[in-house]
Copies of this chain bind each other. A is one copy, B any other.
Amino acid sequence: MKAIAIDVGGTKIYNAVINEKGEIISEIEKHSTPKNLEEIKNLFKSIIAKYENEVDAAAFSTAGAVNNENTRVISSTGNLVENYRTIEFDKLSTKPVFVENDANCAAWAEHVIGASKGMPNSIMLTLGTGVGGGIILNDKLFKGKSGAAGEMHFKMYPDKRRACTCGSYDCFEAYASGTGLKKTAEEMLNNPDATTYDVIDGLKSGDKKMTEVFNKWQDDILAGIIGLANLFDPDCFVLSGSMAEFVDTDYLEKGTNFQIITMPTKVLKATTGNYAGMIGAALLALGVK
């Protein structure tokens, strides 16, 4: 079995054919994300048309929350085209079409062939420009009543300090993301021009102040993981995304297990790489557990 997998991000769209083992068995194609609805629909159709005859399903890994029927995006997705929500993905192909949120797809890839393989309960945190969340409970993706569960927008402070992209304040995403690291650097260094790169560069070269900034950012991630561990009692956390390479998972795991009242958990790095979203979408579309 195989699926044509399509990863839809704010700037790039990738596609590849992926088999039931999660192996990429075609070249990976890359497109700039179209800026209007008709163009993006036409791109989807042309990708699917190219591979439709040789695959069993079309599998979308997309930004935004996806409904429980895996046919539509239900949330607003600021970095995608207007009215993206109106796309009826299930009508884009004569083969079965499956759509899921990109962080959920990545969590599923890790669950089936990656770091959390063999563990029924895991929480994936994708630490990038924002923070994505994918929660697997009892070997199933946890979607909530409408499909949007697992949004990492729980508050780090109750009293409105830092605006979040979601319209509220002080969410985990606003601290644990790359954007959050920049903001923490701005505040701690009293410098509006401080960048994530400055901090990572300073961390690598042993700069004391930059290391303090990094440690504060990492301790905010730790605080969030502690809360999630007490709420979900998961077997493990899996960290992915561009910022994950810098975090110290041993530190996070020890710090978490020292403070939680549920049973010990693990903090791991993802192993399925940059195409985890496409791989997870294909595995989900093909029904691979």
Contact = CB atoms under 8 A, between A and B. Distances in A.
Nearest to A235: B145
Nearest to A67: B263
Contacts of A226: 153-155, 168
A127 to B, nearest CB: 16
A157 B155 CA distance: 8
Interface in A206-245: 219-220, 223-224, 226-228, 230-235
Contacts of A75: 261
A153 B227 contact: yes
Interface string A142-170: 11111111111111111000000011100
Given A158-B156, A168-B226, A261-B153, A121 B144 contact: yes
Contact of A145 (B144, B150, B234): B234
This protein's copies in its complex: 2
A218 B39 CA distance: 48
B156 A263 contact: no
Contacts of A36: none
A265 to B, nearest CB: 8
A229 to B, nearest CB: 9
Interface in A26-65: 65
B148 A233 contact: yes
28 contacts: A65-B261, A65-B262, A137-B142, A144-B232, A144-B234, A144-B262, A146-B233, A146-B262, A148-B233, A148-B261, A148-B262, A148-B263, A149-B231, A151-B231, A151-B260, A152-B231, A153-B260, A154-B226, A154-B227, A155-B224, A157-B157, A157-B158, A158-B175, A158-B220, A158-B223, A167-B259, A168-B226, A171-B227
